[in-house]
């Protein structure tokens, strides 16, 4: 057998994995109650959205589970096309007054066309996240496999493929270790000796060379040029081979192993990226060091360290929504039949899968989870698989604090710190303003300019929404050091808006012009406008929270006063002629070309903000519900996810459950449980998991609300480890659709108000306190538990 794989053969091997070993029938064992956190299948993946994801925050791997051949598709989170660049359009500042005048005159299409010329960045598109390539494994003599099963253990963060050929059971295990910075594979059998035969190779779509150096296959290359920006990020992938027994033959770009007892593969990848303006690192030095450290460890040591670190995060929450016979089916079959099955355990699995994905794609020191987390097989991925700031990047982190993964938001803080640097130039260039601004997209090089077109990109609120998301982390954690790091970003952002806001010529209220309501048009072909509702909502949160942070930290009294004065002139939310919450400054909603648009930007005030609530602003809450009804339930994957959260905030439990069921169905969820926008976008997974959490626990408007949107089909269950604002841990048990008991654990001092159904109880918490809450005929009762 020749060792060299041509590009065509490599692609064939990677995409045709199921054809290499035909399966005689369904022979896999049924899952049990112990498999609640397991995705499993009785056939190999035949396409990427059937493969199983692994990640250590920086490295991603998609495992296909092939039989006679296996494909492990590889990613590294800093590998993008292009190189550091500046896309600021020098015409923007001079063109801004004319754009504004056209908007004030109601000549929106002309304003948008002129903004396309003077405001859109140069280049108009940003750089794409790139795949590294594939590790390919060919197993000669493997045929007529039986008892096939592949799985992803969310609790152990390990993908396994197991099957039997004649009398020998083959086991393949794959992990992506955060502790050892490698993807590691173990190939073994239950035969006494000498049953592992495999040919190893690497394949890549990048400009690269492949060589064998001793016991390692090495792939070295450079990222592509894109949109006129030269490629510059260098990468290196090293696959170190360690075998027990057998013999090894080295070819020009591959390794053949025969009759081994066991084979361990260690895969390290690094790039030359250091910072958005520095790609001068040495990937070879980093990859070699990672391999050198990992190869000193045995497989049990690698696995133990990896699983201990993963479980430190994953096991903070357990969830049980009930179980039906549907849970005994393979995961793809459960998804295929989800519309008709009563399968509460599928929702619990989806929730934990979301937490698993966030752990796997966002860790302190890595890039934030991008549009696809860290998993991407395409050189031209949808929407460049970067960071979209008008919903998607923020939605990725709605789950973080409620799902007890608050420290995983650190990469988003670092991205925002970078944007506060690059965005200063854009603020000066485009608006002649102090502070910093970011529009609706950014990439690895932290571009802050209008991206793609004025229709989509003329939205100067991306920084404000990022800061809202980061403030929420402070509100959950009450970490004063985090607030001290966040505050300068908030203050600088406020300076931008203080300079950029202009009075509306009819009312005198302060609005952003130009802007838009993200990606939606108010007249055919025109989205550009002045003062859409979401702008005002974001500004209210930013201004109020900056004032609060300034007071807490004792800083910037003068700026605080300036912000407070401007805050009084921000337009209020309005109710339109159809009883809806207005999306725009004008009452255009019912005449908008896409009345069922996927974005519901004007409902930011309901969720993730709490400016609108059933208790404090019932009229606006009713208008928000009317807007949701007009929009309709069907949407893209992430659009459904947002709607689940919104219906949960409105305490419409069956409507929230209906939309969740829609999200879990084929067409919105792929067989490997990835969200289908379509195509794959991870925000639907993470936002959908957040929605499940919101159905069970909410904390906003000064209240912790237990089981606010519990649907009828989850009558009994329990969840432990959820987090509420104020640094409070919450465990909940219920039966018969009603609260049985809850436990509050205080991480900080503070008084909380707790609600269950119509009962409300005030509880004074001191750090370390634990209270058990029970529900009875006289309402809620709290009992202090002994410490320790």
pLDDT tens figures, 486-508? 999 999 999 999 999 999 999 99
DSSP state of 301: H
Preceding peptide of 20 cis, ω within 30°: no
Q: How many CB atoms lie within 10 A of CB 721?
A: 15
Which band of pLDDT confidence, cut at 50, 70 and 90, is reported for residue 7?
A: very low
Work out the pLDDT band at 34, boundaries 50, 70, 90: low
User: At how many degrees (to 10) do helices 637-649 and 682-696 cross?
Assistant: 20
DSSP 216: E
What whole-number distance in Å separates Cα of residue 310 and Cα of residue 155?
8
Stated as kind and residue range, the H or E segment containing 754 is strand 750-756
Could you tell me which CATH number the domain at 95-107+362-632 has?
Answer: 1.50.10.10
Spatial separation of the C-alpha atoms in residues 125 and 365, rounded to whole Å: 27
Cα–Cα distances in Å, from 784 out to 335, 344, 496, 728, 768? 43, 33, 48, 15, 11
pLDDT mean across residues, the chain? 94
> What is the C-alpha separation between 80 and 411, in angstroms, rounded?
17
Question: What does the pLDDT average to over 593-602?
Answer: 96
Statement: residue 9 has pLDDT above 70: no
Instruction: Please determine, for residue 11, whether its predicted confidence score (pLDDT) is greater than 90.
Output: no
**Which is it for the CA torsion 58, 64, 69, 71, positive or negative?**
negative
What torsion do the CA atoms of 618, 622, 623, 624 make, to the nearest 10 degrees? 100
* Band (549; pLDDT cuts 50, 70, 90): very high
Q: Please tell me the distance from the alpha carbon of residue 529 to that of residue 586, in angstroms, as a whole number.
A: 10
Q: Is the pLDDT of residue 757 over 50?
A: yes
Mean pLDDT of all residues in 652-666: 98
3-class DSSP state for residue 679? coil
As a whole number, mean pLDDT of residues 499-527 equals 98
What would the pLDDT profile of 662-697 be if each residue is shown by its tens digit?
999 999 999 999 999 999 999 999 999 999 999 999
Give the least confident one: 156-160, 252-256, 568-572, 645-649. 252-256
For residues 5 and 117, give the distance between their C-alpha atoms in angstroms, rounded to a whole number: 48
> Ramachandran region of residue 519, left (φ > 0), alpha (ψ -120 to 50) or beta?
left
What fold, for 7-81+128-315? Beta-galactosidase; Chain A, domain 5 (2.70.98)
Cβ(200)–Cβ(255) under 8 Å?
yes
- Model pTM? 0.95
């Amino acid at each position: 057998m020749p060792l060299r794989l041509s590009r065509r053969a490599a692609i064939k091997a990677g995409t045709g994995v199921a054809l290499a070993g035909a399966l005689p029938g369904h022979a896999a064992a049924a899952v049990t109650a112990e498999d609640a956190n397991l995705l499993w299948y009785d056939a190999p993946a035949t396409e990427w959205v059937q493969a199983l994801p692994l990640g250590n925050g920086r490295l991603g791997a998609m495992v296909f589970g092939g039989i006679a051949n296996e494909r492990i598709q590889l990613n590294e989170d800093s590998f993008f096309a292009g190189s550091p660049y500046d896309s600021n359009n020098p015409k923007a500042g001079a063109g801004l007054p004319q754009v504004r005048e056209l908007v004030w005159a109601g000549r929106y299409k002309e304003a948008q066309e002129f903004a396309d010329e003077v405001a859109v960045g140069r280049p108009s598109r940003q750089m794409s996240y790139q795949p590294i390539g594939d590790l390919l494994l060919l197993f000669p003599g493997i045929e007529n496999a039986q008892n096939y099963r592949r799985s992803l253990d969310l609790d152990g963060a390990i993908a396994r493929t197991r099957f039997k050929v004649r009398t020998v059971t083959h086991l393949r295990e794959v992990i992506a270790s955060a502790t050892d910075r490698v993807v590691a594979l173990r190939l073994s059998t239950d035969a006494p000796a000498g049953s592992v035969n495999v040919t190893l190779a690497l394949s890549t779509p990048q400009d690269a060379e492949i060589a064998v150096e001793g016991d390692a296959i090495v792939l070295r290359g450079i990222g592509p040029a894109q949109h006129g920006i030269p490629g510059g990020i260098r990468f290196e992938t090293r696959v170190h081979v360690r075998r027990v027994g057998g013999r090894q033959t080295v070819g020009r770009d591959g390794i053949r192993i025969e009759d081994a007892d066991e084979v361990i593969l260690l895969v390290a990848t690094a790039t030359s990226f250091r910072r958005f303006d520095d790609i001068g690192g040495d990937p070879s030095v980093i990859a070699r060091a990672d391999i050198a450290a990992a190869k000193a460890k045995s497989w049990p040591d690698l696995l133990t360290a990896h699983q201990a670190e993963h479980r430190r995060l994953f096991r903070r929450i357990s969830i049980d929504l009930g179980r039906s016979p549907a849970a005994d089916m393979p995961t793809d079959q459960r998804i295929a039949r989800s519309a008709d099955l009563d399968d509460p355990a599928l929702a619990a699995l989806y929730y934990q899968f979301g937490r698993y994905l966030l752990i796997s794609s966002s860790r302190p020191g890595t890039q934030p989870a991008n549009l696809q987390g860290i998993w991407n097989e395409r050189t031209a991925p949808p929407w460049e698989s970067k960071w979209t700031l008008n919903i998607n990047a923020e939605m990725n982190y709605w789950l973080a604090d409620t799902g007890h993964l608050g420290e995983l938001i650190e990469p988003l803080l670092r991205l925002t710190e970078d944007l506060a640097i690059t965005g200063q130039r854009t603020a000066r260039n485009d608006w002649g303003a102090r502070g910093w601004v970011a529009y609706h997209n950014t990439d690895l090089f932290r571009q802050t300019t209008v991206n793609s077109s004025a229709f989509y990109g003329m939205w100067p609120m991306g920084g404000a929404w990022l800061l809202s998301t980061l403030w929420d982390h402070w509100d959950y954690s009450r970490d004063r050091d985090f607030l001290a790091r966040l505050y300068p970003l908030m203050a600088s952002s406020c300076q931008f808006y203080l300079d950029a806001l202009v009075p509306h010529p009819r009312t005198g209220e302060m609005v952003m012009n130009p802007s838009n309501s993200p990606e939606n048009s108010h007249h055919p072909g025109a989205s550009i406008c002045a003062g859409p509702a979401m702008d005002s909502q974001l500004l209210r949160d930013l201004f109020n929270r900056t004032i609060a942070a300034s007071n807490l930290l004792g800083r910037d009294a003068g700026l605080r006063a300036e912000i407070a004065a401007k805050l009084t002139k921000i337009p209020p939310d309005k109710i339109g002629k159809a009883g809806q919450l207005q999306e725009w400054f004008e009452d255009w909603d019912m005449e908008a070309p896409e009345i069922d648009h996927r974005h519901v930007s004007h409902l930011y005030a309901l969720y993730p903000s709490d400016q609108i609530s059933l208790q404090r602003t019932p009229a606006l809450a009713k208008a928000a519900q009317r807007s949701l009804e007009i929009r309709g339930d069907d949407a893209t994957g992430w659009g459904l996810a947002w709607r689940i959260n919104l219906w949960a905030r409105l305490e419409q439990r069956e409507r929230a459950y209906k939309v969740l069921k829609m999200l879990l169905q084929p067409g919105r969820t792929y067989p490997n449980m990835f969200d289908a926008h379509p195509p794959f976008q991870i925000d639907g997974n993470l936002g959908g998991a957040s929605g499940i959490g919101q159905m069970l626990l909410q904390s906003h408007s000064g209240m912790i609300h237990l089981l606010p949107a519990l649907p009828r089909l989850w009558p009994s269950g329990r969840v432990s480890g959820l987090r509420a604002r104020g640094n409070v841990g919450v465990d909940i048990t219920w039966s018969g659709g009603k609260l049985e008991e809850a436990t509050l654990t205080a991480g900080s001092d503070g008084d909380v108000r707790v609600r269950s159904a119509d009962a409300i109880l005030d509880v004074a918490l001191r750090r370390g306190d634990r209270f058990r809450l029970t529900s009875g005929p006289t309402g809620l009762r709290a009992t202090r538990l002994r410490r320790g």
